[in-house]
Amino acid sequence: MGKLVHYVGGVVEAAGDQGVGSHADYGFVTLLLQDDVGGLEVLPPGTSQWLPVEPLPGALVVNLGEMLEVATEGYLAATIHRVQAPPPGVDRYSVPFFWSPRLDAVIEPVPLAPELKAAARGITDDPANPLLASFGLNMLKGRMRAHPDVTERHYPQLMGRRA
């Protein structure tokens, strides 16, 4: 699935510099074409310092998703990232393409060479964001975390099930 994302700078003063909060994409891989405004930041595994992803003309950013982490039992870690909103008067555009399985897919571990399996760190065990092998449930969990107000309004019965 692809989409065009438009960040409008400085329109909602109370929102501050929050464009998109810290998260990992739900599927396997995301390819991202970003404009020259910038604002994308990544948090490398095991660190606490956000790093900017400087836009390069014609280059695609590749983010690894949660299903790839599940499939490789943590050998490949999902890319934690966020987007800072542009300054007032500046618009930012990006075009992400999300490569994901079907909603009913359950991801099994892929066979890894022994040396790769030995290097796998295991699936992220964040109790606030457990990674689920069922893509549909993992995506629902992520959407509920990202949009609790929408979940509460349209699906209040699910609010007690949030991870």
Q: What is the mean pLDDT of each run of 10 residues along the chain (163 residues)?
A: 84 60 91 93 93 95 96 95 87 94 96 94 83 91 80 82 50
Say which residue the tokens 């009913």 belong to: 104
Domain span including residue 101: 5-161
CATH code of the domain in which 99 resides: 2.60.120.330
* Predicted model pTM: 0.84
Q: What gap in Å lies between CA 46 and CA 59, rounded to an integer? A: 26
Q: What is the pLDDT of residue 99?
A: 96
Containing 62, the helix (H) or strand (E) segment is strand 61-64
Joined tokens for residue 43? 């948090």
Tell me if 28 sits within 8 A of 98, measured CB to CB.
no
Instruction: Tally the domains of the chain.
Output: 1
